[in-house]
Amino acid sequence: MGFARVKEILDQGIANWQSSPPNDNPADLSGHGPTFSWSMKPDLLAAVGHGARLIQPEVIGNGKGSQANLIIDLRTGLRGPGSRMPKGGPYIPESQVKEIEDWINAGCPD
């Protein structure tokens, strides 16, 4: 699995969130900060949301994918259950979060 699938999962997560009233449509992701993006792989690898690096370099390719801020955030919430993303749900299914975790453990291949 490559980056295109990761992007698809995250884009679909936003699309599902936006189509669930009363959520914003379009979602306003600007509050996360200026480098919050997964348009291309380098964007995602550099992305920061509210001060937290989404994928810390030290968790890539060494079995620590479950410790990536992105994975914790999507699975349970980085700052407690109320902070699980996308904010308030609907959330990304566990099977898809696991796909992203596996991709990080595989070294974030293209």
**Using CA atoms, how far apart are residues 3 and 76, in angstroms rounded to an integer?**
23
**Is there binding between residue 73 and ligand HEM (CB under 6 A)?**
yes
CA distance 16 to 89: 9
Q: Which residues pair with 52 in a beta bridge?
A: 49
Q: Does 50 bind ligand HEM (CB under 6 A)?
A: yes
Strand segments, DSSP code E, in 1-110 are 48-49, 52-53
- Listed as own residue / partner, the contacts of 56-59 with beta carbons closer than 8 Å and 24 or more positions apart are 59/104
Rule CB under 6 A: is residue 78 a binding residue for ligand HEM?
A: yes
Give the residue, chosen from 87, 98, 99, 105, that forms a contact with ligand HEM under the rule CB under 6 A. Answer: 87
Interface residue with ligand HEM, options 3, 7, 14, 37 (CB under 6 A)? 14
Using CB under 6 A as the binding rule, whether residue 46 contacts ligand HEM is answered as: no
List 44, 54, 59, 71, residue binding ligand HEM (CB under 6 A): 54
Verify binding: residue 11, ligand HEM, rule CB under 6 A: no
Q: Are strands 52-53 and 48-49 parallel, antiparallel or unpaired?
A: antiparallel
Q: How many residues are listed for the chain in this entry?
A: 110
Site residues for ligand HEM per CB under 6 A: 10, 13-14, 17, 24, 27-29, 31-32, 49-50, 52, 54, 69-70, 73, 78, 85-87
